[in-house]
Structure 1
Amino acid sequence: MQKDSDMPLWVFLAFSSIETRRGAMILIWSSFLFTIYCIPWAILYENPWLTRLFLIDDWEWFAMMVPMTVWYWLSMKWVDKNRGWNLATNTEKNSIE
Structure 2
Amino acid sequence: MQKDSNMPLWVFLAFSSIETRRGALILIWSSLLFTIYCIPWVIYYENPWIAKLFLIDDWEWFAMMVPMTLWYWLSMKWVDKKRGWNLAVNTEKTNIE
Q: Do they superpose with TM above 0.5? A: yes
The CA deviation at 1:46 is 1.1
TM-score of the pair, normalised by structure 1: 0.98
Q: Equivalent residue for 2:87? A: 87
Q: Which moved more, 1:32-41 or 1:87-96?
A: 87-96
Aligned Cα root-mean-square deviation (Å): 0.5
Q: Residue 57 of structure 2 aligns to which amino acid in structure 1?
A: D
Runs of 5+ unmatched residues, structure 2: none
Counting aligned pairs with the same residue, the percent is 87
Structure 1: gaps spanning 5 or more residues: none
- The aligned residue for residue 37 of structure 2 is 37
Moved over 6 A (4+): none
Separation in 2 of the partners of 1:32 and 1:95? 34
The corresponding residue for 1:62 is 62
Task: Give the secondary structure class of the aligned counterpart of 1:32.
Answer: helix
Using the size of structure 2 for normalisation, the TM-score is 0.98
Q: Deviations over 1:24-79 (max 9, x none)?
A: 00100000000000000011111111000000000000000000000000000000
Q: Residue type of the partner of 2:72?
A: Y
What is the identity, as a one-letter code, of the residue corresponding to 1:53? L
